[in-house]
Amino acid sequence: MSQMNFYNELLSEITNSRAYLSDKPEESPEAALRALWFLATGDARAVERCLVDDLPTLSEESEARLRNLFREHIQGVPLAHLTRRQQFMNIEMIVGPEALIPRKETEILGYAALSMLRVTVSALGQARVIDLCTGSGNLALALAHCEPNCRIFAADLSLDAVMLAQRNAVHLTLQDRVTFSVGDLFTPFANEKFIGQIDMVVCNPPYITSQRVGEMPPEVSNYEPKLAFDGGPLGLSILLRLISETPRYLKSGGLLGFEVGLGQGKFIRQRLERNNEYSEIQTFTDMDGNERALFARRI
């Protein structure tokens, strides 16, 4: 069978056998097949980079490897867990089952944070940022990559996630400006080095209700850590703690920014507006007009 016929055969099968999640818009049957094709030849790439170059020629060994990878993906293994790569804010991350696969929707929070961070750096010359629920470190590392005049301190409750984030820091040569710790929200930062000394706090928290976590698609519930999704009975536990605990760490005029789930924006925005620790509440929406990120300034 020619390589083109083999490609077309696999593309037909993946199109008919595999559904792709709406929160991973970069994935499609063709993009996934191309990513697996490159991977089979030893070239691990995020899907975006698989659409720009010609496919390499497969040897017998790499064709056999492709068939195995293809079968795993058809059976439900997330593409990013096979390639171990995911693009976020134009940097390529190492990913795996240790942490949530970074989603495009979190770039709404990321780019908003970057814009505000640059304003702070322009005014002060530098900035100190805390990133909570850091997962693979995608938000912390993207901000550090895009704004060299900041120092970022990140934490996650999961040791496995923090170890992955540390690998990403080395992978991106950012280990000198981004530090990762294990702990529950602000626990690693409860000392005079951080209290009242931070210019920005960012967070992509768990915000799915406990009941809905078990109802998520198998590609998510069977492969990604429950800890990264479960926001308690109403999906609001971490969000409400974040609003309550952050003022202790921010300088006056410092910023809090975080992601919210679909339908949570209005309620959380109202909580911020009623909290006398904050002012200048801003919301950022997705392409459908849903509030997906909120920012507030410390009074």
Domains recognised in the chain with CATH numbers? 3-83 (1.10.8), 106-298 (3.40.50.150)
Percent of the chain with pLDDT over 70: 100
Which H or E element spans position 213?
helix 210-213
Query: Residue 10: what pLDDT?
Result: 95
Q: Share the mean pLDDT of the chain.
A: 96
Give the mean pLDDT of 93-118.
Answer: 98
CB 186 within 8 A of CB 132: yes
- Burial bucket for residue 170 (CB in 10 Å: 0-12, 13-18, 19+): exposed
pTM of the model: 0.95
Tell which wins on pLDDT, 277 or 1: 277
pLDDT level of residue 2 (50, 70, 90 thresholds): confident
| pLDDT over threshold 70, residue 265 | yes
3-state secondary structure 98-163: CCCCCCCCHHHHHHHHHHHHHHHHHHHCCEEEEEECCCCCHHHHHHHHHCCCEEEEEEECCHHHHH
From residue 278, alpha-carbon distances to 7, 198, 214, 247, 299 in Å are 55, 15, 35, 8, 5
Rounded to whole angstroms, what are the CA distances from 229 to 116, 131, 209?
A: 27, 17, 8
Residues of the chain by 3-state class (helix, strand, coil), percent to 5: 45, 20, 35
**Averaged pLDDT, 285-292:** 96
Given a contact cutoff of 8 angstroms between Cβ atoms, the answer to whether 126 and 197 are in contact is no
Q: Phi, psi at residue 32, to the nearest 5°?
A: -65, -45
Backbone phi and psi for residue 50, each to the nearest 5 degrees, phi listed first: -90, -5
Residue 91 CA neighbour count, 13 Å, CB half: 24
pLDDT at 88 over 90: yes
Per-residue model confidence as pLDDT tens digits over 150-208: 999 999 999 999 999 999 999 999 999 999 999 999 999 999 999 999 999 999 999 99
Q: Using the Cα atoms of residue 102, residue 107, residue 112 and residue 114 in order, give the sign of their dihedral.
A: positive
Biggest CA pair distance of the chain: 69
Output the pLDDT for position 150.
98
Residues 21-77: tens digit of each pLDDT:
999 999 999 999 999 999 999 999 999 999 889 999 999 999 999 999 999 999 999
The pLDDT assigned to 1 comes to 61
Rounded to 5 degrees, what angle do the CA atoms 226, 186, 149 make?
A: 105
